Chains A and B, each alone.
Chain A
Amino acid sequence: MKGLEPNTVAVTNQSERLTMLKRGVGAGFPIMLGYLPIAITYGVLARQSGLSNLELTLMSILVFAGAAQFMGANMIALGTGMVEIVIATFVLNFRHFVMSLSFMNRLREVSLKWKVPLSLGLTDETFTVSSLHAKEAKEPHGTWFYGALILTAYISWVGGSFLGGVLGDVIPGRLSQSMGIALYAMFIGLLIPSVKKETRVALIALLAMLINFFFSLFISDGWAIVLGTIIGGGCGVFLLKEGEEAA
């Protein structure tokens, strides 16, 4: 940047940010594809559970966690007490603590004023997509990439919930059921390229699958996923080389 006028520097900065923003939206697009039908379904279900449009949309704005919101709406419909709903939500969403620890550790160099909002936007999907775009964390304005990725997902989730609440089932049942595979396919599409690059990654993922499956027979899905992630990831201590990262 030496020798450039301050003005030129500012313009360059701006266009770099815009590029990162666009790339973030692009990376967030598969999440949008997966979220929209699920969010609409949530909106419909929550409406039937007795939540108003305002309430169900507010839940999407404030909670932003698909599985927990489905469960919450269901428990509300069943007349479950508040304490139980909140505890169940905590258990189901505790996995985000582990994910956030992993993501925040990668964004160590970033200031807290970025870390906090980014961490609040972590879901299974935004976390996994962000993590497999590890190189952006080291690029200038990388936070704009992650911010745009998360906002794309967030807007689809909130918008889709609202649409579901207002319009009802706008997606034909056949199609919406088929779209239930979307997020799983996205997870697979994220995992496979890493597996091809490094076979040990497959071992970590397979172990996590088996551990999750085993524990899900005995304890709640929430804790089973937490254990699968922690123990499966623990094998990475021995399997991954120094400084090896998701790419």
Chain B
Amino acid sequence: MSQHENHAFEHRDDEAKKLGMWLFIFTELLLFGGLFLVYSIFRSQYPDSFHEGSLELSVTIGAINTIILLVSSASVAVALTAIQKNNTKLSMQMLLLTVFLAAAFLVNKYFEWGAKFHHGLYPGSELMQLLDRGHHLYFSLYFFMTGLHALHIIIGMILLLISYFKVKAGKVKMDDFMHLENAALYWHLVDLIWIFLFPLMYLIS
């Protein structure tokens, strides 16, 4: 009984937690926004090089990774709905599925980058030095932007795993789920950035 009363008076501000997460997301959007701006400027200056550069990328792998991220974004949203409906088991399953899909994305990325590295195409390689300015810029931006995005995938996986263990331990529950909600917001951000990266890097040519 006394435990129940303590809980009722526990100081907690869910709105502030959410607003804080959104403010952080704004800085992330502007970080990638700056890179998209650099991409747009150089694309307008070297349209032919960017066109030829994008032909080097596999649309199939890009499309598979897009589908993976969309499904993982939906599964983490289901995990949040499940915890709000007090379905802890489904929430944990969905979090594990999301982390698994994130890992699958990275495996794809590993093979994609691996093939480029195999052909001597990686930042600072001799081949990169020989490329003309336009191609050099395209591949530098490709590696930097998808690399920074992959780093966000890894951070997102860690956040989702922490959420998973918190749900398991009963610390994230039906009436106290902000940790999971904020981790989910971060994961959607990763998906959101990829939604723009995919057409700009792989498709437009």
Whether chains A and B associate is no
**A-to-B contact residues, CB < 8 Å:** none
